[in-house]
Structure 1
Amino acid sequence: MTGIKRQSEKHLILASGRAYPELAEEIAALVGVDLVPTRAVTYANSEIYCRFEESVRGADAFVIQSHPAPVNEWLMEQLIMVDALKRASAKRITVVAPSYPYGRQDKKHAGREPISARLVADLYKTAGADRLMSIDLHASQIQGFFDGPVDHLIALPVLVEYVLDKFPLDNLTVVSPDAGRVRLADAWTDRLGAPLAIIHKRRDPNKANEVAVGEVVGDVEGRVCLLVDDMIDTAGTICAAAQTLRDHGAATVIAAATHPILSGPAARRLNESAFEEIIVTNTLPISDEISIPKMTVLSVAPLIAKAITEVFEDGSVTSLFDGTNL
């Protein structure tokens, strides 16, 4: 009796959405595989169609998609890709979302509000995702929203390495732009051995994206001040914080943030700001129409590629959570 020949080894495939194929291509080159050929179409009525043009049966599949504007379109495309993989009998599906969509809506601030970050996690799971991988979630609790393993990578080592190479530590102060980012700032101070300062601010609850900046807690006079945050959206918060630091005597102000959302007036505000340099990563694409000469963009492709390799080989991803051994 002739036996059935079965594939004995796992095989890895990387699939990319259309939001930011350049990052996916960089990741694929570092992993050492080609992106799976994919046909993706947006119809006239805005519906999205996706088909993988080679077999994915039994594959360990990673679906890479960034989520710039329009966020809803790219989120839906990624969900459709996951569904297509599930129906094509992929063995395991990992969603790779460098910047988690709806990450700021992680809790209820008032009655009758959604927790949209949880909804997105549920959508990924329902579509067929087995695992989720992201960088610098807005709140760590989002890891608990997804019913499955979550690889919460951090971009801190990438940013810290650049800061260490360029700025002297003996006169550096790490600054949190508000009370909510103190924990992130603490992680920076642990890495750099620098003192911490905090800017106390209050938002107007009736006006979106408008910030009233208060006082500085800590010594910033005559020092190089490093403002740290997880994202820069309209840049109102961080630019107002930079001006506050200069008003309090800071010699130089720089910024480091993971996700360059850069909505609306962000480019103008950053170009007119008191910053000497703004350091970000490429978790999101920056439009060719946006010109910010003092912005430096660092790549997270090596971080994601290493995480994908470790997951595929059933290795340890722990070092990528705390930034050791990168």
Structure 2
Amino acid sequence: MVRNLVVLGGNSHPDLTDTICNHLGVPPSKILLSKFAVGETRVEVMDSVRGKDVFIIQSGGGKVNDHLMELLITISACKTASAKRVTAVLPLFPYSRQSDIPYNKTGAPLAKAPTQLNRNGNYTFDSRPTTPLPGQAESAGMKGGPENLHKKLMDMQLRDQQANGDSQGSPVKMPRRSTIESVTSEKSDYFDDNTLTPTVTNGSANGDKPVAKFHKAPPHFEPQRGYKQWVAQAGTLVADLLTCAGADHIITMDLHDPQYQGFFDIPVDNLYGKHLLRKYIQFHIPNYQNAVIVSPDAGGAKRATAIADALGMPFALIHKERRPTQITDRQNATMMLVGDVADRTAILVDDLADTSNTITRAAKLLKKEGANKVIALVTHGVLSGDAIDRINASAIDKVVVTNSVDQEENKKRCQKLEVLEVGNVFAEVSWVAPSRVVICDIAPRGQSIDNHSRPSEESTTERVSAFYSTIRWLLKMLLDLAGVSGHIAGWLK
């Protein structure tokens, strides 16, 4: 039994909490998790955690928002109860897929997207002139010079006004604030920078001239192309929430974006599930040397090649070719296989399967290219929505996932699903975390953590007995040298 170590489990994965506690030899501490009538989360820690190392087990599957709120309140409750150290164990980290970098429709970061030039060679607001030569004006690279650019900008402005219903009459340049039928209010500053909309009224029968009346028009926002203007930075936000709640340490597995660790001001241990997947390939896939490791996208190529190199297996990659000018937003990108899988077993390796759209489409492509069998190895099997139905109807022969997310209901619905245990991995890390042992040291040279045997109570007793035997032997030698009587020497025996 481990002293000064407390394990608390949330509602996300009770079976995983029991597995970790059984491996550590400690009972799970009592905690009350419920909801008030209004729907607010209620957490009450029933056992004392004063001066102890607390580990809170809560995964990111299922009702993610409720589980995250449970975790935050539990962390705060433990810190309020004078816990020495609080570690949040998150096998699947919530919101880890929402990166802070804005992405456009093609999936590439905007910071790396070059400015495009249209087919006619005309420059728009989204384009950029060519780099001028030394001593040359900046507008020299433009076709027709700056006059042509100003003319095109004016034409674009006129077309925008006509598209908004300003086709009647000629455009009239007005000051930013108009005194014709305008009322100053608190919201006037909101419209200061927007062009006024002219409305031409025909004159009366007496020959009065037409009168142009100007009204405030709602602002016409032109967001930057491809940039998600109103998307919050959820990655930084969740990291700040855990830190502010009082977490001292984070333990997770296979973060979707490894740079997520940089959002924290506290230590984050990102465990790797590739050791478990590699062992499964070695012991459960016959003749695995002739199989092919396949990455379903370029983002997982590093993970897949690490397994392929460790086992000496060939590697293939599925490239997603995205062409936004030809494919609508609702259509999927074209997939292209780079490698040979003909007459072989194809092993898809990925970190997360949510809707399972990627792995099912990849399996269809692999079977089309001549693969005999397709096996998908996934660390986190979220399998939300109609993912189970999609897998059952797909060309995948088997899907292997870990129990970082509860899979009891999924196993009942899918006969192709096989689950690997990761509770022992998190138990080993929880054992060494309070002693500040480097976690990579418990799995030397890429070996799985579950092969490492923690010291048992029997081995500790043997070491203590050997220590006292050595002390008695030293005392006996000293007494013999001093010439002490025999009955004292006999007592030391």
Partner residue in 2 for 1:97: 90
1:320, 1:269 → 2: CA distance? 39
1:275, 1:52 → 2: CA distance? 44
Residue 241, structure 1, aligned to residue 380, structure 2: no
Contact 1:59–1:92 at 8 Å: present in 2 too? yes
- Which of residues 161, 178, 183 is equivalent to 2:302? 183
Would the alpha carbon gap of residues 63 and 198 (structure 1) be closer, same or farther in structure 2, given more than 3 Å must change? same
SS at match of 1:308: helix
Residue 106, structure 1, aligned to residue 99, structure 2: yes
Partner residue in 2 for 1:29: 22
Residue correspondences, number:
317
Contact 1:254–1:275 at 8 Å: present in 2 too? yes
- Which of residues 253, 260, 273 is equivalent to 2:381? 260
Partner residue in 2 for 1:192: 311
Residue 225, structure 1, aligned to residue 346, structure 2: yes
CA displacement at 1:148 relative to structure 2: 1.0
Alignment of 1:152-171 (within 5 A): 152-167=270-285, 168-171=287-290
Residue 81, structure 1, aligned to residue 74, structure 2: yes
2:424, 2:92 → 1: CA distance? 16
2:94, 2:42 → 1: CA distance? 21
- Tell me which amino acid in the other structure corresponds to 1:313: S
Would the alpha carbon gap of residues 83 and 202 (structure 1) be closer, same or farther in structure 2, given more than 3 Å must change? farther
CA displacement at 1:320 relative to structure 2: 6.3
Q: Which stretch of the first structure deviates more once superposed, 125-134 or 185-194?
A: 185-194
SS at match of 1:262: coil
CA displacement at 1:251 relative to structure 2: 1.2
Q: Report the aligned-residue RMSD.
A: 1.9
Would the alpha carbon gap of residues 76 and 204 (structure 1) be closer, same or farther in structure 2, given more than 3 Å must change? farther
Residue 307, structure 1, aligned to residue 429, structure 2: yes
- Tell me which amino acid in the other structure corresponds to 1:142: Y
Partner residue in 2 for 1:68: 61
Residue 293, structure 1, aligned to residue 415, structure 2: yes
Contact 2:60–2:94 at 8 Å: present in 1 too? yes
Contact 2:380–2:402 at 8 Å: present in 1 too? yes
1:227-273 Cα deviation digits (max 9, x unpaired): 11101111111100000001011111110001110111100111111
2:391, 2:358 → 1: CA distance? 11
CA displacement at 1:51 relative to structure 2: 0.9
Contact 1:101–1:117 at 8 Å: present in 2 too? no
Contact 2:291–2:314 at 8 Å: present in 1 too? yes
- Tell me which amino acid in the other structure corresponds to 2:251: M
- Tell me which amino acid in the other structure corresponds to 2:238: V
1:325, 1:100 → 2: CA distance? 21
2:408, 2:47 → 1: CA distance? 31
TM-score by length of 1: 0.92
Partner residue in 1 for 2:447: 324
CA displacement at 1:43 relative to structure 2: 1.4
CA displacement at 1:325 relative to structure 2: 5.2
Contact 1:38–1:53 at 8 Å: present in 2 too? yes
Larger relative CO (CA 8 A, sep 6+): 1 or 2? 1
1:148-198 Cα deviation digits (max 9, x unpaired): 111111111112111111222231111110111111111221222111111
Would the alpha carbon gap of residues 207 and 12 (structure 1) be closer, same or farther in structure 2, given more than 3 Å must change? farther
Alignment of 1:195-206 (within 5 A): 195-202=314-321
Contact 2:294–2:349 at 8 Å: present in 1 too? yes
CA displacement at 1:286 relative to structure 2: 2.2
CA displacement at 1:92 relative to structure 2: 0.6
1:81, 1:263 → 2: CA distance? 26
Residue 12, structure 1, aligned to residue 5, structure 2: yes
Identity over aligned pairs, percent: 39
1:164, 1:212 → 2: CA distance? 33
- Tell me which amino acid in the other structure corresponds to 1:254: I
Partner residue in 2 for 1:6: none
1:297, 1:198 → 2: CA distance? 25
1:193, 1:83 → 2: CA distance? 48
Structure 2: any 5+ residue segments left out of the alignment? Answer: 104-226, 450-493
SS at match of 1:288: helix
